[in-house]
Chains A and B, each alone.
Chain A
Amino acid sequence: MLRFTATRLVRAAITIVMVVTFAFVVLRLSGDPAQIIMGADAPPEAVDAFRTAWGLDEPLWVQYISYFGAIFSGDLGRSMRDGREAIVLVLERIPATLALTVPALVIKLALGIPAGILAALYRNSALDRAVMMFAVAGFTIPSFVLGLLLVLLFAVQLGWLPSGGQESWRHAILPVITLGIGGAAALARFTRSAMLEVLGQPYIRTASAKGVAWRRVVANHALPNAAIPTVTIIGFMFGSLIAGAVVVESVFSWPGVGRLLVTAVANRDLAVVQCILLLVAMTMITANLVVDLLYGVLDPRLRGGARKAEA
C-alpha cells in the first residue's frame, strides 16, 4: 500500500511540474505582461521600465529557472498588477468559491445519485423518462445560458433574488443552483448507467433467485458495485471545488478563484495564474488519489491488486 501511494505521489509531482511548465510557456509566449498590464497608452519607456523591474527582459529560460527556484523556496511570487503576494490573493478568493462549489456539490449528490438510482430501478418507466429528460436538459444547457435564464426569471422578472455580486447569502442562491443542476444531471446519468450495468449482472439474478428481498439486493449488492464508476465522477467533482466555477463566477460577478483566474490570464499575471494552477492541480491530484484509495475500500479485488503491485 505504501508503494502504491508513493507511486501516485511521484506521478502527482510530475503532473504538477508539467502543468506549471506548460502554463509558463504558453502564457509567456502569447503575450508580454508588461505591455498588457501597463496598457496601450503607456509610454514605451514606462513599459520597458516595468519589464526590467519584473525581470521580463531576461531570457525565457532564466525566468523559468528563477521561477521554479522561488517555488522550491516557498515563494510563489507576486502579482505584477498590484505587487501583492500571489498566494495571498488566491487564498483570499478561495472561501468565496467554496461558498458556491460546496453547496453545489451537495445539490449534485443529493439530487443526482437518488435520481439516477430511481431511474435505473424503474427503467423505461415514465419516472425514468422524466428523470432522463431533465438530466439531458441539465447536462446540455451551458452554465452561462442557464445562469442568465435564472437571472431573467428570478432577479429581473420576479425580483426575488439578486442577480450578481457577493453581499449576502441570497446572492449565492442562483449561482449555486446553476452549478448544482448541471452536475446533478451528469451524476444522475452516470449513476443510472452504472446501476443498469450492475443490475444486469448474474450475481444480482442469483441473489434474487435465492429469495433475497429486492430492497436488500439493491442495497447490499447493486449499490456498492455501482458505486465505483460513480465515485470516479464524484472525485472529479471534488477536484473541481477550487476552480470549477469559472463561467458561473463571471456571469454572476462572484469574486472567486475562477474570476481571479480569468483576470490573471487576461493580464498575463503569471504568478497568480501559476499559483491557482498549482492549487487546482494539487486539489485534482489529491481527489484522484483519494478515489484510487476508495476503489480499494469498495472493491477488495483492487486491494489485492495493489498488494500484488507492492510485492
Chain B
Amino acid sequence: MRRRDLALLPALGLAAPAVAQSDSRPQVTVAVQNISTSNTLEMLREQSNVGTRIFRNFVEPLVDTDWNGDMSLIPGLATGWRRISNRVVEFDLREGVTFHDGQPFTADDVAFSFGPERMWGGGAREVPPAVVQNARRAFPGFERIEVLGPHRIRLHSSVPDIILEGRMARSIAVIAPRGAFMASSGWMDWARHPVGTGPYRVAEHRPDQMLTLEAHDAHWQGRPPIRRLRFAEVPEVSSRLNMLFSGEVQFASDIPPDQISSVESDRRFEVVGGPINNSRYLLFNKSHPVLANALVRRAMSHAIDREAIIAALWSGRTSVPRGLQWEFYGDMYLRDIEVPRFDPAEARRLLREAGYRGQPIPYRVLNNYYTNQTATAQIMTEGWRALGLNIQMQMVENWSQILAGEPETRGVHDWSASAVVPDPSVQMSGSWGRTGAPWLRNQWRNEEFGDLAAELETSMDQQRRRVVWRRMLEIIEREDPGYVVLHRNASFTAKRRDIEWRASQSFFMDFRATNWRA
C-alpha cells in the first residue's frame, strides 16, 4: 500500500491531534473493535475483556495494578492497607480526591459502592440480578465495609481470605459516589453514564458508536495529558487501519499479527503491545464418552505444537507460559512447571493405551472471537488427525452454541483466562473449583482438585498453599487434564510513532499522564 501522500496530511490538519485554542492538550481518538459488550460502562455489568480496555480511564479502585510494570498491587484510591486479621483488611483512603461531579471522595462512598444499592440488591434501588451474581463471584466472602473515619475503612470477610487486598483491585471494586448514583433514574441509567474519580470523565456515551471522555483536571495525579479522549467503535480491522493511515484516529486497537509488518512499512506508524495477562487454552469436556478417558486428553495435549503456532500465526511475538500461572503470582509462581511438551510419539502411545478406535470428538470453534482462533484450531486439528484422532471441527456463531446440548455432546472448545490478582486462587479455585463454570456445567470435575481448590482459597499458610497449588497444576494439566494451555494471548495496537505510549500487559489502554508523551 502506498502512503506517500500522507506527507500532505499535516498540512490539511488531519494527521495531528486536534488542538483547542484555549487548551493546548490534544484530542485523541482510538479506534476499537467494540466499546462495550453490554452497552454499559459499569464493570459490575460489563465483565469482559472489551470493558477492561477502557474502564480504568474513568473509574478507579482502592487498590490499583502496576499495568505497565510487574502487575503488582499499588496504591489507588487507598494510600495504604494493613492486615488486621485473616478476615479483615484496613485501608487508608487518599485525601483530596474528587469525583467528576465535584464531590469529595470519602469513606462513605466506599461503603456505598459496596452497598445494596449498587452491588448486592435489597436496597433502595433495584439491582439487576446478574450484577448481584457477578459481585458474589468476585467477593464470595464479603461481609461489610466498616467506616472508621472520613478516610479509613475496614473490609470484613466472613471467611479467611488471603487475597482480600487483591480483590479490591478487581474491576468491579471501583468506587462510585453516592450522590451521583442516587441522582440517576435507575441502575442501568447509571451504568450507561457512570461517575468516578478517574483521570477522564464520561462526557458522552453513544452505545455502539462513540465514547467521549474529557479530562478531569481535578484528578489527584494532576491534569491528564489529553483534553478529550474518544473511543470510536470501528468493527472492521481494515477500516480501523484506514482511519489510522488517513489521520482520523491516532490509535487503532486489536490489530492481527499478520498486519504488523504492513503497518510498520510506513515509518510514521508502529505497532506496540505483546503478551498480556491472558492465556489462550483449550477446554476438555470429561462428560464426552471419549474424553472421559484421561489418556485421550493427555494424548491431545502432547499433539499440540505450540511453538509452530506462535511462529506461524503470531510472528513469534508471544510465548508459552508455564501452565496457567503468572510471574506476578510472586512466591506462588512455580518456575519449574512446564506445559505438556509436543511429543507425537508419546501421544500415539497414550492413544494406544487408551484403546482409542477413531471415535469422533467434536471441537466447536468460534470464528476468530480470539485473535487467530480459527487458524490455530485448524493447525491443531490437523496435528490431531495426523495421530489418528477423529476431531470434528464445528464452526459456531456464539458462546451459546458452544455450550448448547447435553454435556455428553460437547467435546473441546477454546477459552481464555485473565488474571489480575497476584495469587492463583481467584483464577484457578474460582474458575475451576466447585463453584467454577466447568464444574457447574459438568464439563470437568475432580474431587481431589475440588478439595485443594477450597483449601487454596481459605488457607493462610503460604507454604502449604504452594504445595496445594503445585498439586492442583499436576492434576488439571497432566493427570486428569481439564484444559491444555496454548500460549499467552497478545494484544497489538497500531499507533502514530511520534506519540510515546506504552501498551500495558493487559487489554487496558492506559492514557494517564504517566504513560503519555506526544
Give chain A's interface residues, CB within 8 Å of chain B: 30-50, 52-53, 79, 81-84, 148, 151-152, 155-159, 162-166, 250-253, 255, 259-260, 263, 266-268
Contact of B5 among A46, A157, A165 (CB under 8 A): A157
B128 contacts partner chain A, Cβ-Cβ < 8 Å: yes
Contact of A82 among B1, B39, B248, B437 (CB under 8 A): B39
B277 contacts partner chain A, Cβ-Cβ < 8 Å: no
Report how far A34 CA is from B49 CA in the complex, Å: 18
B208 contacts partner chain A, Cβ-Cβ < 8 Å: yes
Q: Please tell me if the beta carbons of B234 and A253 are within 8 angstroms of each other in the complex.
A: yes
Q: Please tell me if the beta carbons of B246 and A163 are within 8 angstroms of each other in the complex.
A: yes
Nearest-neighbor residue (CB-CB) of A49 within chain B? B129
Q: Mark B236-248, 1 if CB is under 8 A from A, else 0.
A: 1011001101111
Contact of B48 among A34, A39, A159 (CB under 8 A): A39
Q: How far is the CB of A240 from chain B (nearest CB, A)?
A: 21
Report how far A251 CA is from B240 CA in the complex, Å: 10
- Within 8 Å CB of B440, what residues of A? 44-45
B460 contacts partner chain A, Cβ-Cβ < 8 Å: no
Q: Please tell me if the beta carbons of B437 and A49 are within 8 angstroms of each other in the complex.
A: no
- Within 8 Å CB of B137, what residues of A? 43, 45-46
Report how far A40 CA is from B417 CA in the complex, Å: 10
Q: Which of B276-309 contact A (CB under 8 A)?
A: none
Contact of A31 among B131, B245, B397 (CB under 8 A): B397
| Contact flag A35-B239 (CB < 8 Å), given A43-B137, A255-B208 | no
- Within 8 Å CB of A255, what residues of B? 206, 208-210
B446 contacts partner chain A, Cβ-Cβ < 8 Å: no
- Within 8 Å CB of B128, what residues of A? 49-50, 53
Contact of B400 among A35, A44, A46, A253 (CB under 8 A): A35
Q: Please tell me if the beta carbons of B246 and A44 are within 8 angstroms of each other in the complex.
A: no
B130 contacts partner chain A, Cβ-Cβ < 8 Å: yes
Nearest-neighbor residue (CB-CB) of A82 within chain B? B39
Q: Please tell me if the beta carbons of A163 and B400 are within 8 angstroms of each other in the complex.
A: no
Q: Please tell me if the beta carbons of B242 and A83 are within 8 angstroms of each other in the complex.
A: no
- Within 8 Å CB of A44, what residues of B? 437, 440-441
Most buried by A among B207, B402, B404: B207
Report how far A142 CA is from B437 CA in the complex, Å: 43
Q: Please tell me if the beta carbons of A50 and B47 are within 8 angstroms of each other in the complex.
A: no
| Contact flag A36-B400 (CB < 8 Å), given A158-B5, A163-B239 | yes
Nearest-neighbor residue (CB-CB) of A252 within chain B? B239
Q: How far is the CB of B31 from chain A (nearest CB, A)?
A: 8
Q: Please tell me if the beta carbons of B129 and A155 are within 8 angstroms of each other in the complex.
A: no
Q: Please tell me if the beta carbons of B239 and A260 are within 8 angstroms of each other in the complex.
A: no
Q: Please tell me if the beta carbons of B243 and A164 are within 8 angstroms of each other in the complex.
A: yes
Contact of B130 among A32, A53, A162, A166 (CB under 8 A): A53
| Contact flag A49-B132 (CB < 8 Å), given A82-B188, A252-B239 | yes
Q: Please tell me if the beta carbons of A39 and B399 are within 8 angstroms of each other in the complex.
A: yes
Contact of A159 among B2, B8, B133, B415 (CB under 8 A): B8
B38 contacts partner chain A, Cβ-Cβ < 8 Å: yes
Report how far A287 CA is from B8 CA in the complex, Å: 47
20 contacts between A and B (CB under 8 A): A30-B397, A31-B397, A31-B401, A34-B400, A37-B37, A37-B38, A38-B47, A43-B134, A43-B437, A46-B47, A47-B130, A49-B132, A50-B130, A81-B207, A84-B188, A157-B2, A163-B243, A164-B248, A250-B236, A253-B234
Report how far A210 CA is from B2 CA in the complex, Å: 62
Report how far A267 CA is from B207 CA in the complex, Å: 14
- Within 8 Å CB of B235, what residues of A? 250, 253, 259
Q: How far is the CB of B103 from chain A (nearest CB, A)?
A: 26
Q: How far is the CB of B223 from chain A (nearest CB, A)?
A: 26
Report how far A44 CA is from B130 CA in the complex, Å: 10
Q: How far is the CB of B215 from chain A (nearest CB, A)?
A: 20
Report how far A84 CA is from B248 CA in the complex, Å: 31
